Structure 1
């Protein structure tokens, strides 16, 4: 059941539509946990809860409801710890860290990711968990301006390619290295390394991407254009983000668009940029 819900979440453009089923399933699980008659049964139920609470958190996160997402991830981490499922636990901690990244609490995020890395070391070495943690650590270091630590973490994340077999489960763990170009691009934009960022993001766009992932790459390219004051680059990529935003009700996508608009302020003297800013503001008013 859980794997089907993760699949439905991944395929849906309106991801919040999956939440009622997840909520009902969690209510049943919580009741079963209270009635468990053995430690083995209890741990099995905790594992299922740790899985589903992460999905609930993902749904809240995508809807821009960070407080609810944080609560779900906390419950997921607690249940996963009780289940002694170290990979599941590490992933819950890593998802908690994402909230800190998007709230720009970078310094507080680093220790949480260190904890996730420590837990992941106790997990299954054939899974990609520890490498996903490294990829997220790279972004945190990039946001803090620590180029050397970021590169080390990216190199560690890249080691996922040496794994063979089933390295993820397609649900609470989906990292397989296919997003490394996107992640490098995000990091190098944050580090203001245009030379490295554009190459990575261009490579990322050559891959088949979901609407949400494509928005992330295009938003990073728009940000890169802002850093370089390249108006054509800004317009091309920002308008592509607007178009994709019309196809999804994702709060994540809306936040990326809002971030672009805020960064446009120093360039508003250019009429084309001013018009773009108004386009984004008009779109934001329509969806709120």
Structure 2
């Protein structure tokens, strides 16, 4: 009598060894304590042969990994022949379900991503890990069984946006490998969707992982590759955003002239007006006020005196819902004041930055606060 776990695993094309590796990877990413790899091999075999019950700890891992319910994990089939038959039946059921994914369902996926983006911006990502993981698993599952291009492309587009958001959240909570993997997922989904804008955005954000890892020169190369990936398909606001990202990364790489040229290009391209949202790329928020903050950030990294005035303007004009971004501006101001030898002001901004980073659970910003503090 085979446990339903086996049927679910086979339907995904996974071996027992692959399932063990995925359990370990998921546990590491979510900081869940699990048994050793050797013990997990035994557990999986015993679970599938009804010799051991699946505890809630492991069920909480298996559900998002396999996209299965508790009932599906524990259901039974009578023989190996029926398992094989049920596997085909389940496959066709999933393919049919994916084929019937409507535009309204894709919109639901996008709306869910938007809700998670809003919550992340205001509350931070640390409390959203499980929700985001479940959302990505649902989208990946829908894409896995979507056969024809007219079905795959809209689902892949939704997955590209969700995966890039999940990657940025993972980066902020300090899960670096998970962030990298999510960016790779976002890039693959963007290519599947034939969406150069989404591919360019994922590549440019992924460059920040390299920057944080101490490889700014490689990050510059990646963000410039993003330009080539986006080609002529990018909206003006996304192009301005990409120039701004390139400017910041060039500043971190010590490329002063390249940084200033990119900032000037961003200012030239950015659409006029107060609107900050790109309707073609919902993850992009950029207007003149945001660009002033970005300019201040880059100039602060270069040790330029102009940074202080730009950053105070940005801080005064900042949308109060951008809580994590406010922590970043405070860090920028601290760096700018240190460059001017104004250490008391720098300490004041670092205190505020630390409070905001703790409020949103941003490990990335807390790390930056500590790095700047060492210079005081």
- TM-score w.r.t. the length of structure 2 is 0.64
RMSD of aligned residue pairs (Cα, Å):
2.2
Question: Counterparts of 2:154 and 2:304 in 1: how far apart (Å)?
Answer: 46
For residue 172 of structure 1, give the secondary structure of its aligned residue in structure 2. Answer: strand
2:44 equivalent in structure 1 = none
Q: Post-superposition shift, 1:207?
A: 0.8
Q: Quote the residue 1:267 is aligned against.
A: none
Structure 1 residues 63 and 142: alpha-carbon distance in aligned structure 2, compared to 1, 3 A threshold: same
Instruction: Report if the CA contact (8 A) 1:143-1:190 is conserved.
Output: yes
**Deviations 1:18-47 (CA, angstroms, capped at 9, x unpaired):** 232222222222222232231221222211
Aligned partners of 1:172 and 1:157: how far apart in 2?
Answer: 17
For residues 30 and 167 of structure 1, the distance between their equivalents in structure 2, rounded to whole angstroms, comes to 25
Residues 169 and 83 of structure 1: CA distance in aligned 2, closer, same or farther (over 3 Å): closer
Query: Which of 248-257 and 197-206 deviates more?
Result: 248-257
* Whole-angstrom distance in 1 between the partners of 2:347 and 2:141: 52
Match of 2:299 among 188, 198, 201: 188
Aligned residues: 262
- Does residue 5 of structure 1 match 2:113? yes
- Higher-Rg structure is 2
In structure 1, distance between residues paired with 2:355 and 2:324? 12
Structure 2: which 5+ residue stretches go unaligned? 1-108
Using structure 1 for the length normalisation, give the TM-score.
0.83
Alignment match, 1:34? 144
Counterparts of 1:218-233 in structure 2, within 5 Å, are 218-233=330-345
Following the alignment from structure 1 to structure 2, what is the Cα–Cα distance between the partners of residues 167 and 9?
A: 14
Which digits, 9 at most, give the CA deviation of each residue in 1:66-115, with x for residues without a partner?
Answer: 21101100110111012111111111101101112222311101111111
Q: Residue 279 of structure 1 corresponds to which residue in structure 2?
A: none
Tell me if the contact between 2:146 and 2:152 (Cα under 8 Å) persists in the aligned partners: yes
Equivalent of 2:255 in 131, 146, 157: 146
Cα gap change, 1:177 to 1:75, in 2 (>3 Å): farther
Q: Which region of structure 1 is more displaced relative to structure 2, 171-180 or 214-223?
A: 171-180
Change (3 A) 1:211 1:25: closer
Q: 1:150 to 1:223 in 2, by over 3 A?
A: same
1:253 alignment partner in structure 2: 365
Aligned twin of 1:276: none
Residue of structure 2 equivalent to 1:120 = 230
Deviation at 1:129, TM superposition (A): 1.5
C-alpha distance in 1, partners of 2:348/2:246?
30
1:184·1:197 contact (CA, 8 Å) conserved in 2?
A: yes
From 182, 202, 209, give the equivalent of 1:72. Answer: 182
**Contact 1:9/1:15 (8 A) holds in 2:** no
**Equivalent residues in 2 for 1:46-61 (5 A)?**
46-61=156-171
Matched residue, 1:272: none
* Kept after mapping to 2: 8 A contact 1:219/1:241: yes
Write the distance in 2 (CA, Å) between the matches of 1:171 and 1:7. 12
Structure 1 alignment gaps of length 5 or more: 265-288
Partner of 1:85: 195
Aligned equivalents of 1:65 and 1:34: distance in 2?
25
Contact preservation (8 Å) 2:300, 2:336 = yes
